[in-house]
Amino acid sequence: MPGSRKNRRITEVGYRNRFLLCILIAQILVLMTFKFWPEERGEVRVYQVELPERQVLIDEIEITQQQSTPPPPPKPVVPQPVPTDEIIEYELDIDEVADLPDMPDLDPGDGTGIGGDEARIVGNPQIPPTVIRIVEATAPDQVPAELRGNLEMIVNFLVDENGDVEEASIMEIRKYTNGEYEILPFVQYGLMDAVLKAALQWRFRPARQDGENVKAFTRQRFNY
């Protein structure tokens, strides 16, 4: 009995070793198969395609370079009026306003002013004064060239009920440079006196309020 158990153990050990040996031999055979398997070499064929030659003609291009920027076009010359001593009278035909409704009589005022025949001044009359005679101002000879043609004076007229200029004053003096102007407090060379002297000789069709001639203010421009 003891001998049979020993032989049995040896048999189990030998069986295990044989099994492991078989596995090892199988792995070696698989590796040798992959290593020594003949390679299939395919034939490589090279094809050469000859394309017809095509000529491309390129014209000669002359490269030019602008040396400088062309100058801008000149500014248009604006004609400036030249003042003269000639008196120009304009007769303006303006239809008189007809069929005005009759206004009710006003009650006597209760003011504290001294009574008299002084005509009242209307700030915004129904019909403003209209110029019928213009007298141009004469520019003195000593006026510099930089001021000639670049000055504008706005004159305020007080026109009475007969159309005469009762008062004249310069409201604003403008000096123009390149289309823009600056306001001057005054100007020399006798220009202001010449403008006021000419303004007092103007004639107007008087302003009308409620069908009557009234005093009123108007503004006009003088250009040198």
**Domain boundaries defined on the chain:** 122-223
pLDDT reported for residue 129: 92
| β-sheet bridge partners, residue 175 | 151, 182
pTM of the model as a whole: 0.46
Run of H or E residues at 167: strand 165-177
Fold of 122-223: TolA/TonB C-terminal domain (3.30.2420)
Q: How many CB atoms lie within 10 A of CB 11?
A: 10
Q: What pLDDT digit, counting tens, does each position of 20-62 carry?
A: 888 888 888 888 887 777 666 656 566 666 766 666 565 665 6
Compute, in degrees rounded to 10, the torsion defined by CA atoms 142, 144, 150, 154. -40
pLDDT reported for residue 113: 42
Q: Does pLDDT of 152 surpass 50?
A: yes
CA distance 205 to 161: 9
CA distance 25 to 84: 134
